[in-house]
Structure 1
Amino acid sequence: MRIIPTVLCRPGMHIGKPVFTDEGQILVGYRVELTQSMILKLARMGIDYLYIEDAQTEDIQIEEPIRDETRTLLRQLLSKIYNKFGATTSFSSINEGASIARQLQEAMHRVIEDLSFDKRDMVTLTTLNMAPATSLDRHFCQSAINTCVYATKLGMLQGYTQEALMEIGIGALVHDIGSIQLSEKLLKSSSRLTPSEYAEIQKHTEIGFHMLKDEAGIPMLAATVALQHHERIDGSGYPYNLKGNEIHEFSRWIGLLDSYDAMTHPRAYRNAIAPHHALEILYANAGSLYDINKVALFRNKVAIFPVGLSVTLSTGEKGVVSKQNTSILSRPTVRVLKNERGETLKEPYEIDLSRALHIMINDIGESMAAV
């Protein structure tokens, strides 16, 4: 099985895992053969990538960090929060606020349970969006879920208590909630922001803090994360130019993870940055913008190229990530399916990038011909 951006899929390919609606209903079933109209419809709906099954990769098993049911639950809850806070800066009643807080806690229990079941000593994430989210709602939800999975699993690997995992997880889910109150036109702008527009964008941290700080059942640390996730350890962040340990540890984590997620997903004003290039940017700014120890842990524990991802190598060969190398997660083993001339190989072979150090992953999302 492999992961291919929907826009690069071709008629005749077969679905390797069902496609679900936001409500958890099956939209396209397992092993359904794709048609051009289906591909176009799925792309328009904002289904950014598909699991594709074929003979050359049938032994490659893609393990999700959280269950489809958990992801659906998170998506529904975040959409509810988005719609509610999009109309007001607070819940209209104490009961409503308590209900949302209770649902956040229940959802985080699910996330922690799923991530605890995965005993691997690493973080893997397969929701690489290869096309822009079709709405601010979808963008808000995708970013929140991705950041939550990273933060919670990394917290586990650091030995955080159950209470701390709940706090950092909920903080990750709602860290960007203040952006809901900003102008959609401003958030979708494809041109360079003026100083006044950038100042308006910066307000989302304080807006988010005030949204959350008095809501019953929402941890105060979640409000703190919303306020501080754009602070940077050298004092160059906002809103208060805090430095080093003046920034809460959870906020420093979410700031790093939010930056990585933002870089590896497209925006109206730029294309997505390849995962390894985003990691290089984090390292270039370690010790100034980001805590160097956190960047190192991220590098050592996050599989930036998930199993099943279609890639193009620096040699021009094209293939699929077939396994992780736990000693160097940024250099997985790749099963080569096409040579440098684009010809499909009758006998695929594998290259262990942890040994073949002269070969790099140049790009992700290469479409293969249907098998």
Structure 2
Amino acid sequence: MLFIKMEDLKVGMRLAKPIFNKNGVLLYDRDTKITAQGITSIKNFGLLGLYILEPAEPLPPLSEEEREFERFQTMSVFSLKNDLKFLIQNKKTKNLKGLAEDIIKKYGSLKDKINFIQDIRSTEDYLFKHSLNVAMLSALISKKLKIDQPRTLDIVLTALVHDVSHLKLKPNLMNKFEGFDEKELEEVRKSRTEAINSVEVNKETSVKVTKLLTQIHRGLDELYNTKTNVFPRISVDASIVLTAEAYDRLTTMRLNKNPISEISAIRMLMSMPKAFSEQVVKALIDSIYILPPGLCVELSNGEKGLVINENSEDIQRPMVLGFKDNQIYDLGNNKVFKQIQIADVMKTMDNRFVIDRKLLEEFRRI
């Protein structure tokens, strides 16, 4: 699978991922060969590029859950983009609360884990895709923590608007999120104050949202800018958004910055208990797949292998089938774990693990 920029698309290339319009209608399915007319049409969507299958590459599996996930993301980003621009102009938002409720309905009521698919982002759509993903993760975490619906709604609304202040910044700062100098940080803080004022008068948000935003902004400053190692005291609700924010930022794919793997991101969050509540990080781990069966991994002994069983008690210690000699490593066994650990994971370009499920069952029977 390759990522091809819009200007480099050629007639006959096969799509690796479906393309939906802002209403969620499927326009081009996977494995579709794009035409000259199709390229012209797709360019009008404002996309940075497309995932393309290589000439002899078979079509990878895509579950209905994953297809719906991508459809919902596409629809929601269009909706959120309009509302955040209305919000920052002190205009009435149209569907901000409705979007939050839809997110809670879809992802705040799930019993099982989901495969949280990331996608490459451009400077034009990073803020909107990031805010949406933070809201979805916040809904998942809130569910695991058994937070009631009114509180969850405030948390998800806060996640949707937590970065809206960046729309008030100059273009050179709009997509910068860390490493500000003092002058830049002053501009960022000024824009945050103005954004909070806009949120405060918006009829679709609440006073609780503005309070959560204030806490989150203090946390973001400590994480990415001031770094005094004196992390501010924040509520569980604010910690949910901050944890989701950090996880998405660490694992997202951007053209100008490589992501880290999900397990590396989780390890980073776990290493900073003052910044990220242990119970919130645990709820995140229980909400999404980190090291699921079917995932290829790199082991600390230099070998590569396949996860064949998760470890529900400690995600870092699954059962792994080594590729070298088909040896099974049970990392849940303390003796084995002292010798071998998961170093990192191997992924497809769209950050999704792909394996034939029947083949996986055969490995499990070895």
Return the TM-score normalized by structure 2: 0.70
Q: Say whether 1:365 aligns with 2:342.
A: no
Q: 1:6 aligns with which of 3, 6, 23?
A: 3
In 2 relative to 1, CA 197–84 (structure 1 residues): closer, same or farther, beyond 3 Å? same
Encode CA deviations 1:60-102: one digit per residue, 9 max, x unaligned: 747339655533442122110233346x2x11xxxx34xx2xx
> CA offset at residue 205 of structure 1?
3.2
Instruction: Give 2:298's aligned residue.
Output: 313
- Which residue of 2 is the match for residue 108 of structure 1? 100
Distance 1:178 1:48, change over 3 A: farther
**What is the aligned partner in structure 2 of residue 295 from structure 1?**
281
Equivalence for 1:271? 258
Counterpart-to-counterpart distance in 1, 2:327 and 2:96: 43
Q: Distance in 1 between matches of 2:13 and 2:344?
A: 24
Of residues 151-160 and 327-336 in structure 1, the stretch that sits farther from structure 2 once superposed is 327-336
Gaps in structure 2 of 5+ consecutive residues = 354-366
Letter in 2 for 1:6: F
Report SS of the residue matched to 1:135: coil
Q: Deviations over 1:333-355 (max 9, x none)?
A: 7899xx78xxxxxxxx8977756
After superposition, what is the alpha-carbon deviation per residue over 1:280-323, rounded to whole angstroms, capped at 9, x for unaligned?
Answer: 22122212x222332333334432357887x563446588x787
Q: Which residue of 2 aligns with 1:150?
A: 137
1:134 paired residue among 122, 126, 131: 122
Q: Hey, what does 1:344 align to over in structure 2?
A: none
Cα 1:312–1:225 shift into 2, 3 Å: same
Instruction: Name 1:84's counterpart in structure 2.
Output: 86
Aligned residues: 335
1:74 equivalent in alignment to 2:76: yes
Matched with 2:241 is: 254
Q: Secondary structure at the match of 1:313?
A: strand
Tell me: higher relative CO, structure 1 or 2? Use CA pairs within 8 A at least 6 residues apart.
Answer: 1
Q: Which residue of the partner structure matches residue 282 of structure 1?
A: 269
Counterpart Cα distance in 2 of 1:19 and 1:71: 11
- Measured after TM superposition, the shift of residue 156 of structure 1 is 0.9
Identify if the C-alpha distance between structure 1 residues 30 and 331 changes in structure 2 by more than 3 Å, giving closer, same or farther. Answer: farther
8 Å CA contact 1:205, 1:226 repeated in 2: no
1:192–1:327 CA distance, 2 compared to 1 (3 A): closer
| Offset, 1:362 | 4.2
Q: Is the Cα–Cα contact under 8 Å of residues 233 and 247 in structure 1 kept in the other structure?
A: no
**Aligned AA for 1:32?**
T
Secondary structure (helix, strand or coil) at the match of 1:254 reads helix
Secondary structure in 2 matching 1:216: coil
Q: Does 1:225 align with 2:198?
A: no
In structure 2, do the counterparts of structure 1 residues 191 and 322 end up closer, same or farther at CA, with 3 Å as the change threshold? same
Instruction: Report the AA paired with residue 135 of structure 1.
Output: T
Offset from partner CA, 1:194-232 (integer Å, 9 cap, x none): 321233234443232111011113122222233221334
Q: CA deviation at 1:182?
A: 0.9
Letter in 2 for 1:296: K
TM superposition shift of 1:55: 6.5
Q: Deviations over 1:257-279 (max 9, x none)?
A: 11221122256864322222222
Normalised by the size of structure 1, how large is the TM-score? 0.69
Q: Judging changes above 3 Å, is the alpha-carbon distance between structure 1 residues 190 and 108 closer, same or farther for their aligned structure 2 residues?
A: closer
**CA distance in 2 between partners of 1:56 and 1:237 (Å):** 40
State the 1:114 CA deviation.
1.8
Offset of 1:180 from its aligned partner?
Answer: 0.9
Aligned amino acid, residue 278 of structure 2: I
Q: Residues 62 and 307 of structure 1 are in contact (CA less than 8 Å); yes or no, is this contact kept in structure 2?
A: no
Measured after TM superposition, the shift of residue 150 of structure 1 is: 0.9
- Check whether the contact 1:125–1:304 (CA below 8 A) recurs between aligned residues: no
